[in-house]
Chains A and B, each alone.
Chain A
Amino acid sequence: MSELIKQIAYCIERGKVNKMSPFPNDMKEQPGTDELTKQAIEEGIGPDVILEACNDGMQKVGDKFGRNEVFVPELLMAAKAMNAVMEHLKPFFAAGNLKVKGKFVLGTVAGDLHDIGKNLVSMVVEGNGWQVIDLGVDVKTEKFISAVKENPGCAVGLSALLTTTMANMEKTVSAIREECPSVKIIVGGAPVTMNSAKRMGADGYSPDPQGAVTFLNQSVSIG
């Protein structure tokens, strides 16, 4: 891995977006992912290599999050730094030089209006090369099923923050299973645990966005 690529990965890990960004405090005035990615492209570094830097940086900050060494604000800044990279990579996706790994239908289940965690997952998953179809919040089961049918081969992510909406999550998982048995489903949110995920018949559970990426990379065939 070249020094420049390592720098991009480090900026993602630290959430350094660009030179103007005041965050993090100890990297003020230093270039961020925006400038470094532009430089990498100009130097002819392949977009696939740059994408790997995204994975590396997000993996590291995700691990820190799992160890309670960083918290939601830092993770959001990391995702923003990664999105700055993705802006530069968009033309490569459009030209077919980079291919999305697959499609991920994501939404907060019916009866729940919380979206910060879902948005965080969306940003991180998208930054790892997946196309995210974000259905928003308070999403009814029928809308999830329609989206799955419109996007063959996709995976589904369901989010809930309220204890009371976990019942809706379970109903949605069952209904998707019935209509589309082969689709992979991952669930998450503050009240959700591995046990409750298993009980409701989901294929995966993750307490953090990076876990959703790992699930997708391992469970969904990339085509």
Chain B
Amino acid sequence: MINSAAIRVGNGTPVFNVKIDVNNLKISIKDVCSRMSNGTQSLDAHFYEIINEIFAHLSEKCRIRAGYVICPADFNLTSNRKSKVGNIHFNMGKIVTSQLKNAVQMAVFACTIGPDMENWSRHSMEQDNPAESYLIDRTASVLTEKAVDYLHEYIGGEMAKQNLLITNRYSPGYCDWPVSDQHLLFSLFPHNFCGIRLNASALMHPIKSVSGVIGIGPDVEFKEYMCNRCRIKECTYRRKHVKNTNTIIRGIAL
């Protein structure tokens, strides 16, 4: 079951910590293998055995931490396309700003599955088990996305109780929103929120973490992602959202 507990930090901003049980995320072999098949053949039995072994350890290896803060939002500062969330001015860019412009509040969220899966994957690679290492990493990525989906849905449910609607979620680094704004976003959280820290390049540790914003208000709506308007033509998500393509997104860094 999911539940949350609100605490208030020094400046009075309510902080909600949401408990998410990995067993509720219902990860399947199909989820992990979605990018490893051309639809006409299945993976070798050996890989299914590895994935089942990984699944058997998820309760022990995934320490999901998720939470959000609710901040007032002001998008009437359109002259330079900057937006204000809490007391922070963001440079979210045209696409994100246009999607969030009717929001009166913002759920600023973070979610991580913790460091154990990435450490396990690294250890496996060091032990000369590269396929197992890859499958652990892949499972961790899928779990992270599922955990954030769950958090998103939870926030939507909480807002619905107040007759408020929510938008899609947006993260620094996507849809033309500079990743450097990640530091500003984290300034809205209490110190060490969810155990996530940022490095100088604005990357999160643990790696399997997601942060971002969700617009809240009576007049916001959930929309299709607008990849055709983004100037980043090579974005992985653009490829994912393009319909009628047979391209397999390999999801590996070469």
Contact = CB atoms under 8 A, between A and B. Distances in A.
21 contacts: A23-B47, A71-B35, A71-B37, A71-B250, A72-B250, A73-B36, A73-B135, A108-B253, A116-B253, A117-B250, A120-B254, A138-B201, A160-B253, A163-B234, A165-B201, A168-B201, A189-B252, A189-B254, A190-B236, A191-B234, A212-B254
Given A25-B44, A119-B130, A162-B173, A72 B248 contact: no
B220 interface: no
Given A76-B133, A190-B252, 18 more contacts: A23-B47, A25-B44, A71-B35, A71-B250, A72-B36, A72-B252, A74-B44, A76-B131, A80-B128, A113-B207, A119-B130, A123-B130, A161-B252, A162-B173, A163-B234, A189-B252, A190-B251, A212-B254
Contact of B134 (A68, A76, A110, A163): A76
A59 interface: no
Interface in B92-141: 125, 128, 130-131, 133-135, 137
A67 to B, nearest CB: 9
4 shortest A-B CB distances, which residue pairs?
A: A188-B254, A117-B252, A111-B201, A161-B253
B11 interface: no
Interface residues of B, number: 40
A154 interface: no
B46 A24 contact: yes
B38 A115 contact: no
Contact of A116 (B37, B41, B133): B133
B253 A115 contact: yes
Counting chain A residues whose Cβ lies within 8 A of the other chain, the interface size class is 35 or more
A39 interface: no
B202 A116 contact: no
A40 B62 CA distance: 46
A150 to B, nearest CB: 24
Residue of B37, B41, B47, B253 with highest tally of chain A CB at under 10 A: B253
Contacts of A68: 38, 248
Contacts of B45: 25
Interface string A62-78: 00000011011110110
B134 A116 contact: yes
A155 to B, nearest CB: 15
A58 B173 CA distance: 35
Given A24-B44, A190-B249, A190-B250, A119 B125 contact: yes
B121 to A, nearest CB: 8
Interface of A: 22-25, 68-69, 71-74, 76-77, 79-80, 83, 108, 110-121, 123, 138, 159-166, 168, 188-193, 196, 206-209, 212
Nearest to B238: A163
A166 B174 CA distance: 13
A73 B45 CA distance: 12
B254 A163 contact: no
A73 B253 contact: no
Nearest to B177: A164
Interface string B56-69: 00000000000000
Contacts of A77: 130-131
Contacts of B130: 76-77, 79-80, 116, 119-120, 123
A73 B134 contact: yes
